[in-house]
Structure 1
Amino acid sequence: MNDVANSQQRKPWLMRVGIGVFALGVLAVLVVFVLFAAGLKDLPLWLSLVAGVATPLGIVLGLIALVREHRKS
């Protein structure tokens, strides 16, 4: 019984990667907002790229993982 509960709670690797990438993107968005609120205008390009790319990429990876899991079951 414990094995069944453990297998249901375990997320697939793609879902874990998607959650991590999404969290990184949200953190970058928050940093951009804080820096803009502090009055900085010339932010590094890499920070804007991470904020703009990582968040939607994380969502896409999570959706792909959901579709794969649904098709598997």
Structure 2
Amino acid sequence: MLMPDRIIRLNTVLSRTGLSRSTIYRKIAEGTFPAQIRIRVNGAGWRESDINRWVAYPVAWRPEGERSDGR
């Protein structure tokens, strides 16, 4: 049985990645870090699986379904 993907908040992302808050948001804008998902009006988080994929191989991370060769 598949486990549901957890939503993690910024403090957890900061501790798992070792990046600063400003670096995370800059990388999101560049498309080299997973974007947040809206979980309520004034709150957002990240899919844990996206962060785990980024931590495993940050240089090659691309959004799910996007190929690195541009096709």
What TM-score comes out, normalization by structure 2 length?
A: 0.24
More strand by share: 2
Higher RCO, 1 or 2 (CA under 8 Å, sep at least 6)?
1
Rg comparison, structure with higher value = 1
Determine which structure has the larger helix proportion and give its number.
1
